[in-house]
Chain A
Amino acid sequence: EPEVTQTPSHQVTQMGQEVILRCVPISNHLYFYWYRQILGQKVEFLVSFYNNEISEKSEIFDDQFSVERPDGSNFTLKIRSTKLEDSAMYFCASSEREGNTIYFGEGSWLTVV
């Protein structure tokens, strides 16, 4: 069964460093998403991406965050200057088209120290 894959599964970084989280969405999917979950809290929407543009973003997704589809298969989330409060599990997700079922990856656990 096709799945969303994410790398790395776990990353530890120092405060102020840049981090790139990578995702390979399901191959025929056109809509991509990033969510995050701080330990013990809800899963929160960050951003959705379609046709090489951000289609929607939350208040959390401020200027330190960016997304990119650098090639035909990868979808990345960059955090420019990490803060302690960025420590969370980051989930990538994709859907075939708008309104279709969204499928999630297993997540990348980011620890900022």
Chain B
Amino acid sequence: DAKTTQPPSMDCAEGRAANLPCNHSTISGNEYVYWYRQIHSQGPQYIIHGLKNNETNEMASLIITEDRKSSTLILPHATLRDTAVYYCIVRGGYGGATNKLIFGTGTLLAVQP
């Protein structure tokens, strides 16, 4: 099973930042934190991933705590199209114990107009 804990749902006002938390207290040193989202039964969409350092791309920012036991995905200006289920997944890197992604139930983010 997925080694992460996420709130089942969150609301966010359109135009505001959405901060999605994830706990992964049993993460190992060589495991990455990946974020995907799934919009209404479409294929999971890759958002961002990180190991230790904070990461930013055109979609989002990922803040990983120093002890790596939790992280936060930040969507800086949420729009209605960001309404989706967001999955936080811990995964081994190259040569890791498993290459696959194990999905949990994620967080349903509802962006409100």
Say how far B89's CB is from chain A's closest CB, in angstroms: 10
Is the Cβ of B99 less than 8 Å from the Cβ of A43? no
What class of interface size applies to chain B in its complex with A? 20 to 34
Q: How many residues of A contact B (CB 8 A)?
A: 27
Q: Is A51 engaged at the interface, CB distance under 8 Å to the other chain? A: no
Report the tally of A-B residue pairs with Cβ distances under 8 A. 56
Among B38, B43, B44, B105, the one with the most A-chain Cβ atoms within 10 Å of its Cβ is: B43
Is the Cβ of B104 less than 8 Å from the Cβ of A42? yes
Q: Is B102 engaged at the interface, CB distance under 8 Å to the other chain? A: yes
Residues of chain B within 8 A (CB-CB) of A82 are none
Is the Cβ of A106 less than 8 Å from the Cβ of B43? yes
Is the Cβ of A89 less than 8 Å from the Cβ of B94? no
Is the Cβ of B42 less than 8 Å from the Cβ of A107? yes
Q: Which of B92, B93, B103 contacts A43 (CB 8 A)?
A: B103
